[in-house]
Amino acid sequence: MSIDFNEDPHRRYNILTGEWILVSPHRNKRPWQGKVEEKQDKKKESYDPKCYLCPGNTRASGAVTPEYTDTYAFINDYSALLPDSPTDEIVDGLLRAKGERGICKVICFSPDHSLTLADMSREAIANVIRLWQKEYKELGTQEDINHVQIFENKGAMMGCSNPHPHGQIWSQSSIPNEVLKKSHHQKEYWEDKGESLLSAYLQQEIDAQERIIYANEECAVLVPYWATWPYEAMIIPRRHMRDISEMTDVEVVGYSDALKVLTVKFDRLFDTSFPYSAGIHQAPTDGADYDYWHWHMTFYPPLLRSATVRKFMVGYEMFANAQRDITAEMAAAQLRDL
């Protein structure tokens, strides 16, 4: 008896994290009588006098956001990590703690309050990518910074505090959990096969054409085989690069095109400004040899079946492991066709 991926419960393996996910495609028709969110999309003005990220406005800390015209990065006024905190380690029986240093930044994508990445031109998105490259390099070369996490929380549903187009960077001295897992599995593959894990995976996806949403000469956009969130997607550069600073300008333009296409498709899916948490995973910056790292960007969007019905990671997901109903192939087909 072999699995029918459209009908039979099965588990799929995440080659990057080494974790399993439960897929239950036969549950697709289950009724939903739970929470329905209020649809958030309201027409926004290009300038909001109360927004702390709009040019010329005063932030909550009293600092003034300058009259920027393109992108703008500043140290988070409420940084979760600080550059000069103590670093000693405390061990008390079974209790362990260690001081952690870091630098947190806020990255404004555009001076225009009404936009999101999906509304921005490819050229404007390329400027955001150039800023990410600059920040990765500058933060990564600092003494106490061994990892740089670039991310965006989009939409109130994902905890975003302000609709002005922006993302964040948290950089720190230790290497975070998700990155450690991905380092371990990429290294293992590299040592075994002498090739980047994601180069091999991408080739398999390109051959299969089942989960690819979009591709250009520089990057591919796909729903990973092991996707957890309903419309989870990944952007993978075709060339094996450890981090985004290695991209040529042609690759930056290709990446901006991939970002544009994916975010527009997301918005069209449920005719809403699609919420998500997106992040770039790339080589740590502690100076060790990370030749096996292949940078990629992952989108975790919470919406399940409409602009107002979301997936909750609760119950079994919290206590056992992640689970999904629609398969990666179903989600990819929907996004590809838009």
Residue 132 CB partners (closer than 8 Å, separation 6+): 107, 150, 169, 244, 280
Query: In whole angstroms, how close is the CB of 59 to ligand H2U at the nearest point?
Result: 3
- List beta partners, residue 153: 277
Q: Which stretches of the chain bind ligand H2U, using CB under 6 A?
A: 52, 59-61, 76-78, 106, 153, 160-162, 168
Residue 142 CB partners (closer than 8 Å, separation 6+): 103, 171
Nearer to ligand H2U, 46 or 61 (CB): 61
Residue 129 host element (H or E):
helix 122-140
Nearer to ligand H2U, 79 or 133 (CB): 79
How far apart, in Å, are the Cα atoms of 303 and each of 3, 30, 82, 334? 27, 16, 34, 14
Nearer to ligand H2U, 60 or 90 (CB): 60
**Six token digits for residue 178:** 């998700």
Residue 321 CB partners (closer than 8 Å, separation 6+): 19, 20, 21, 22
> Which residue carries 């398999």 as its tokens?
204
Catalytically active residues, by annotation: 166
Residue 222 CB partners (closer than 8 Å, separation 6+): 205, 211, 212, 213, 233, 234, 236, 332
**Cβ atoms of residues 39 and 155 within 8 Å:** no
**Closest residue by beta carbon to ligand H2U:** 59
Query: In whole angstroms, how close is the CB of 328 to ligand H2U at the nearest point?
Result: 27
Query: In whole angstroms, how close is the CB of 267 to ligand H2U at the nearest point?
Result: 19
Residue 228 CB partners (closer than 8 Å, separation 6+): 21, 300, 322, 324
**Amino acid letter, 199:** S
Nearer to ligand H2U, 52 or 214 (CB): 52
Nearer to ligand H2U, 152 or 325 (CB): 152
